[in-house]
A and B are shown apart, each in its own frame.
Chain A
Amino acid sequence: MNSLWSYLQANHAQLGRWTVATLWLSTAPLVTGLVAAVPVGWLASRNRVAALILLGGTGALYTVPSLVMFLTLPGLLGTRILDPINVAVALTIYSVALLTRTVTGALSAVPADVTGAATAVGYNRFQLLIAVQLPVALPVIAAGVRAAAVANVSLVSVASIIGTAQLGQLFVIGTNTGSLTPIVLGLLLFVALALVIDLAIVATARILTPWRQAATR
């Protein structure tokens, strides 16, 4: 415990930068991925052929091993191998893959009574999505976002192997110097980070769905 504390004190500036970088690397792709997954998932929820192609395609993307993705993206994007953009793009692809399925399922699960009534009062397709389907599907989408968030945080640590500057470096340092302290510290920080992001998603979903709290009172 003492060694953890002294390690923290000695490296707090570096650790602070790494924490911010890790937080950024795991959440920005999540947001981008969700924004992309909504229209794709919407298309898939409306049309069976589109669903087959889109869900099959994004599913296949998810099976590409992360290390392969980190190493091939610089070639495809023309970026340097150490550029954190590579990690961000890779995680965005994984987030889209995970969340497209989530969004498709969540939109399809909106009761037919509700979408039928919305159509009958004169919503067009876009209004129906924004004003009715997405709000009603939000709890299910939030659950999918939580799963994707935790997956992202753990994948960021893998990216340390290719040398991006973030908390995963603690594992590299620990391995290279044969010291357990940075490894344990890294573990604790990653768990804490995952917990904070998870709680933030849960809180956001709660604020956005007051009707669910009211229903269970």
Chain B
Amino acid sequence: MIQFDAVTKRYPDGSVAVHEFTLEVPTGQITVFVGPSGCGKTTTLRMVNRMTEPTSGRVLIDGRDLTAIKATRLRRGIGYVIQNAGLFPNRTIVDNVATVPRLLGQPRRAARRHALDLLSQVGLSAELGARYPAQLSGGQQQRVGVARALAADPPVLLMDEPFSAVDPVVREQLQNELLRLQHDLGKTIIFVTHDIDEAIKLGDHVAVMRTGGTLAQFAAPADLLTRPADSFVAAFVGRDRGYRALGFARADSLAVIDEQPVRLGDPMTTARDRQRDGWVLVVDTDRTPVGWLSPAGHRLDDTIAAAHLNLGGTLARRGESLREALDAALSSPSGRGVVVDEGGRLAGTVTAAQVLDGVKARAADGLARSARQGGRG
């Protein structure tokens, strides 16, 4: 367990980056430090591997004061991932990943073999191992950075805005893979970001920090959205927090309506017969939804083709969050949100009104629960 015990970082010019910061970081989980720039989140993170030493206060790992451990030895036992990956440009990918095991005295061949395994674990092919960092894309470099941090199997991983410099699509892939890796590995991860959405997506717990380096709130993401501690946290968490909190509400109990779909290639007359409120759902041969069709305005002797479709609606996975279900309903031209099963095949549809009923039922549940807990925070 990592503990911050009233740590303060004051620079010689008198500015204070971190002020009396106290926190226990839960073992085996992802803790996200989030806050505006200048809130001291990176400075606090760097105290864990002694890249920054606190002016006062202590940082402890499993009860041991960090200053009692030699800095180089401490660092070899803590994985570290930074924004632009910071790969060594003069070493091949495999040798970059093998860095820490080599420092710990592992023979070169064994370290390289293990490095190749790690590359596949972070979703890179072994062929990339012989290349140099400059020959990889930013997203690939970042994966190598994660593999390098994991190479010596450290119990603790520090990640300093690791995904901020890649484009949104790659960022989402990297986030999902981090969650998948963490599911298997169960590391104690401290993750620094300025992006509240990233914090909410990745964190088991989120520590919101405010300018001046103090802790504003430490809570699970759902609690942060529904019960911000003060107006700073409320403002930082943002406008759509009510809607985003639905992302944590599972849609298990949500019933779906049967939908009578048509297939690509069916005659337009079938679409006219099966339409409801002017719209009919079109699926392909294995019942995967492909789009909505409004039969009005098309010739009845036509057959249904991809060009006729409205592709507006998003898909909600069955049993996932109320947020997904609501988004599917709101984005659908028919007002009916498409729900799919695990295989991506049509399960049925839901309307926004149905989702909102689910939200109401959940709110009533929540009220009852907090009444039982005596209003405990």
Q: A residues within 8 Å of B by Cβ?
A: 111, 113-114, 116-124, 127, 132, 135-136, 138, 209-211, 214-215, 217
B145 cross-chain contacts in A, Cβ below 8 A: 117
Contact with A along B62-86 (1 / 0, CB 8 A): 0000000000111110101011111
Q: What is the CA–CA distance of A89 and B99 in the complex, to the nearest angstrom?
A: 41
Interface status of B135 (Cβ within 8 A of chain A): yes
Contact string against A for B residues 194-228, beta-carbon threshold 8 Å, 1 for contact and 0 otherwise: 00000000000000000000000000000000000
Contact check, A120 vs B132: say whether CB atoms are below 8 A apart: no
B80 touching A120, Cβ below 8 Å: yes
Smallest Cβ-Cβ distance to A134: which chain B residue: B90
Query: From A124, which residue of chain B is reached at the shortest CB distance?
Result: B72
Cβ distance A186 to chain B, nearest Cβ, rounded Å: 41
In the complex, are the beta carbons of A136 and B89 less than 8 A apart?
yes
A61 to B148, CA, bound (A): 45
Chain A residues within 8 Å of B49, by CB: 120
Inter-chain contact A121/B99, CB cutoff 8 Å: yes
Give which listed residue, A119, A121, A123, A211, contacts B89 with CB less than 8 A.
Answer: A211
**B132 CB, min distance to chain A CBs, angstroms:** 4
Q: Which of B51, B74, B89, B148 contacts A114 (CB 8 A)?
A: B89
Q: What are 28 pairs between A and B in contact, CB < 8 Å?
A: A111-B86, A113-B82, A113-B83, A114-B86, A114-B88, A114-B89, A117-B86, A117-B87, A117-B88, A117-B145, A119-B75, A120-B51, A120-B75, A120-B78, A120-B158, A121-B76, A121-B80, A122-B72, A122-B74, A122-B100, A123-B103, A138-B90, A209-B90, A210-B132, A211-B92, A211-B133, A211-B134, A215-B132
Q: How many angstroms from the CA of A211 to the CA of B89 in the assembled complex?
A: 7
Q: Which of A114, A117, A121 contacts B103 (CB 8 A)?
A: A121
Chain B residues, Cβ within 8 Å of A122: 72-76, 100, 103
Contact, CB under 8 Å: B100 / A214: no
Number of interface residues of B (CB under 8 A): 31
Task: Find chain A residues with CB under 8 A from B133 CB.
Answer: 211
B75 A136 Cβ-Cβ under 8 A? no
Nearest chain A residue, comparing its CB with the CB of B149:
A121
Do the beta carbons of B75 and A116 come within 8 Å of each other?
no
* Contact yes or no, B100 A116, CB < 8 A: no
Bound form: Cα–Cα A164–B256 in Å? 99
- How far in angstroms is the closest Cβ of chain A from B43? 14
Say yes or no: is B276 at the interface (Cβ < 8 Å to chain A): no
- The answer for the CA separation of A127 and B99 in the assembled complex, in Å, is 12
Within the complex, what minimum Cβ distance (angstroms) separates A213 from chain B? Answer: 9
Q: Is B308 an interface residue (CB 8 A)?
A: no
Give the chain A neighbours of B99 by CB distance below 8 A.
121
Give Cα A214 to B91, complex, Å.
11
Complex: A25 Cα to B213 Cα, angstroms? 61
Do B132 and A211 touch across chains, with their CB atoms under 8 A apart? Answer: yes
Task: Write the nearest CB–CB distance from B66 to chain A, whole angstroms.
Answer: 14
Q: Cα distance A94–B76 when bound, in Å? A: 41
